[in-house]
Structure formats: C-alpha cells, structure tokens
Amino acid sequence: MEISAVRWRPMTTRVLSGIQPSGDLHLGNYLGAIRNWARIQHTADAFHPVVDLHAVTVPQAPGELGKATLRMSQMLMAGGLDPEVCTIFVQSHVREHTECAWLLECTVSFGELSRMTQFKDKSNQQEFISAGLFTYPALQAADILLYDADEVPVGDDQRQHIELTRDIADRFNSRYGPTFKPPEAVVPAAGARVMDLQHPTHKMSKSLDSPRGTVDLLDDPADIVRKIKAAVTDSESEVRYDIKAKPGVSNLLSILGAATGRTPEEAAEGYSMYGPLKADTADAVVELLRPIQARFAELEADPAETSRLLKIGADKARAIAAVTLERARTNIGLLTP
C-alpha cells in the first residue's frame, strides 16, 4: 500500500493574529507579536491576515493601500513567517470576513464598543470618526472566529479586543446555538508593551507620529543607534526596572531583555550608567534586525512571488472561513439562496 506524503505535525492548536498595513513594522510590532508568530508557526496551525479593511477605518491616500499591503506581507515573511509553514493572506481577499463582521456587529452592543480604549485613543486623533472605526472590533472578532482560533498571540494593547471577541462568541452561541469558539489572548512575557523612545509612557505606535521615538524594522543601523542613544530617560543615574518611577530606563531594559532573551531585571544587571545601557541596547537591536532587513531586500525584489504566495494563502483561508460562515448563517436561520 502506498503511503501518501502528508507531513505529520503535532498540531492541535489553531492560532490567528493580524496586523494592519498602515506604515512599516516597528520594533513594538516585532517584539510584541511577529517574533512570537514566527516561533508558534512550528507547533500550531497558524493564520496571519494583513488586515487591509481595518486600515480603511481611517482615510487612506487613493491607490496606496495595495502597495502597503504587499509591503507588510513581505515584512511578515522577512520577520520569520514562512508561507509554506503558516497561512499568510490579505483580509479583503477573503470576503467572508466582511459578511461575518455584519453578523457580529449585530451581536455586540453600542455600550461594549464605546468602552474600547483603542477606539477612544484613535477617535481622539481623527477629525472624521467613521462608523467603521467604532465597529472595528466586530471585524476583528470575525477575523478570529471564522477560523475557530484557539489562541490569539498579540501585544498587550489588543487584550481588550480579544476579551470582547470572547463575549461576542458567547452571546452568539447562546442566541443561536454553538457556532463560534471563544479564543484566548496570548501575550508574550517579554516585549508585550514596547514604549515610544521619546514618550516612554505611550506605546510605540504607527499612529503616534513620533519618528524619533519609533524604531522601524527597516531603519538603517545608524538611525537605530541615534534614536536609542537619544531615548528619553530621567535625571537620576540608577539603572533599575521600575515602570512607574523610571519609564524610559525600564523601556530600554525591556527592549534589551527582549532582544537578548532575558527579563528586564536580568538585563539591568551590571549597569550603573545610562550611556552603556543605551549603547548595548542599540547594538542588540541592530543585530536583531540585520537579518530581517537583508531578507526584506530579497523579497521586495520579487513582488510577483509575494502575490502568488498571498493567493495560495487566501485560498486556504477561504476554505475554512466559508464553512464557519455557513454554520453561522444556518444557525441564525437565514434563507438558503
């Protein structure tokens, strides 16, 4: 008897986590999310959408989003996601996401959405607050629930959205019968909350508009060193991990620890001045990003190959999403066409 060549992998857990294609990847995205995705893909069945529809909750320059989506996909691959091991796809290529999002918008309350801190932060930065920015978490819930994901590996800032996703799944299930699997957020021990280097009480973020406070994955080494050496600290000189009293120094220790596989407290050992701490943190980050930058340059040179891989990813994703959406439609009792 011929044995078919299916590779056996001990995969019982499905994970899903997405990223917006607005701007380039920064060190917070990498340490808080992508680096863990790259590890998890080897032991779990992993799905990673580039969530372009989430990006249109705020106005986009016409014609630019597609390029940014391709670029973000290449950055994920450069950051260690292997399209032959996990599934990388573009959210808008799998139309089930928007249909499911509508069903979930009708399952979440106005009050619940109003309590989302990301909405409060983002709406404060916008002149025009779209309805989509408000209902954003329902689309995020659809991203997750369509795949029956067990775990959602994210940075600390996404915990609230994942909690809401659980509540939405539970409510839908109690109204219409078992349909969606409530997922768990998985937040890394180190790097879950990388702060802005100039404003260390704010998380490093694409939307903070703080170029000197944000290390982009594609920054050249000299810029990385300059930004880290200019990081805001405090007027003392003691190197100690204490987020409340010493947010700037603690952020450097978190980054150094995450980049070198240690806790921030361990990373603090042996330093008595800020200068050497900054120099070593800068070196560690440059070394961490060097291979990613080299790989990105290769991928960037062949956009057609990235598009081909994204199509394969979308086909795989759609096959699963379509089944879950059909289950939801049936359980609600929508008339079959």
Cα distances (Å, whole numbers) of residue 239 to 12, 107, 182, 193? 43, 49, 42, 19
Cβ atoms within 10 Å, residue 178: 11
Residue nearest to ligand TYM (CB): 32
| Residue 155 near residue 36 (C-beta atoms within 8 A) | no
Smallest gap, in angstroms, from Cβ of residue 34 to ligand TYM?
Answer: 7
Please report, as residue ranges, which positions from 84 to 143 form the binding site for ligand TYM (by CB under 6 A). Answer: 140, 143
205 vs 233, which CB is nearer to ligand TYM?
Answer: 205
Binding span for ligand TYM by CB under 6 A among 119-127, 156-164, 274-282, 285-293: 156-164
Residue (152 or 252) nearer to ligand TYM, CB: 152
Q: Which stretch binds ligand TYM (CB under 6 A): 202-210, 230-238, 276-284, 292-300?
A: 202-210
Nearer to ligand TYM, 134 or 236 (CB): 134
What is the SS3 string spanning 185-239? EECCCCCCCCECCCCCCCECCHHHCCCCCCCECCCCHHHHHHHHHCCCCCCCCCC
Among 92, 158, 233, 324, binds ligand TYM (CB under 6 A): 158
Instruction: Select from 88, 104, 193, 86 the least CA-distant residue to 146.
Output: 104
Between CA 285 and CA 262 the distance in angstroms is 14
Segment near ligand TYM (CB under 6 A); pick from 15-23, 232-240, 266-274, 296-304: 15-23
Q: Does 247 bind ligand TYM (CB under 6 A)?
A: no
Q: Distance (Å, rounded) from C-alpha 149 to C-alpha 140?
A: 12
Is 17 a binder of ligand TYM (CB under 6 A)? yes
Say how many C-beta atoms besides its own lie within 10 A of residue 158's C-beta.
22
Residues whose CB is less than 8 angstroms from the CB of residue 199 and which lie 6 or more positions away in sequence, other chains included:
208, 210, 213, 232
CA–CA separation, 327 and 333 (whole Å): 10
Structure tokens at 126: 């916008």
Based on the shown chain and the rule CB under 6 A, indicate whether residue 192 belongs to the binding site for ligand TYM.
yes
Which segments of the chain does DSSP mark as H helices, in order?
Answer: 27-29, 35-40, 52-55, 65-78, 96-105, 110-114, 117-124, 131-145, 159-176, 221-229, 247-260, 264-268, 274-300, 303-332
By CB under 6 A, name the one of 32, 182, 213, 313 that touches ligand TYM.
Answer: 32
28 binds ligand TYM (CB under 6 A): yes
From the list 157, 223, 238, 266, which residue makes contact with ligand TYM (rule: CB under 6 A)? 157
As given in the structure block, the two tokens for residue 149 are 């994901």
> Among residues 67, 181, 203, 227, which one is catalytic?
203
Residue 206 is among the residues annotated as catalytic for this protein:
yes
Nearest to 164 by CA among 112, 111, 98: 112
Among 70, 145, 190, 194, binds ligand TYM (CB under 6 A): 194
Q: How far is the CB of 238 from ligand TYM (least distance, A)?
A: 25
Query: In the block, which residue shows the tokens 């857990």?
Result: 13
- Find the shortest distance in angstroms from Cβ 21 to ligand TYM: 8
122 is catalytic: yes
- The catalytic residue among 67, 181, 206, 311 is 206
- Among 122, 227, 246, 278, the active-site one is 122
Catalytic annotation, residues: 122, 203, 206
List contacts with ligand TYM (CB under 6 A): 16-20, 28-29, 32-33, 51, 54, 140, 143-144, 152, 154-155, 157-158, 161, 192-194, 203-205
